Amino acid sequence: MERYETGQENAGQEMKSAARSTVQTAKDQLVQKGQEAANRLSGALNDAKTKIQESTTAGAKATDRAIREHPYEAIGIAFGVGVLIGVLINRR
């Protein structure tokens, strides 16, 4: 009878060890997948940042060029937009 109990204890220990190993493997896989997702997100954010900076710079250069080529028209448009905004704000 004692031999049977020792076998059960060994089987129980082996099952606990296998369960711990499985849990640790699952944790390691989740950490790895999380790190990969974070790396992909970081790369995508850097790409988006670069594109936004390039488009903003191009827009600013185009605006500067247009204002330098047509200074009086730019002043007139700015004045008109300011008047329009002032009228809209005072209506409320």
- pLDDT single digits (tens) 36-66: 999 999 999 999 999 999 999 999 999 999 9
Q: Considering its fold, how many domains does the chain have in total? A: 1
CA distance 25 to 21: 6
Strands (E), 1-92: none
The whole-model pTM stands at 0.53
In sequence order, what are the residues at sequence separation of 6 or more whose Cβ sits closer than 8 angstroms to the Cβ of residue 67?
74
Asked whether 6 and 12 are in contact (CB, 8 A), the reply is no
The domain of 61 spans 2-91
pLDDT of 17 reads 82
| Amino acid at site 17 | S
CA distance 6 to 3: 5
Can you read off the two tokens belonging to residue 61? 């250069």
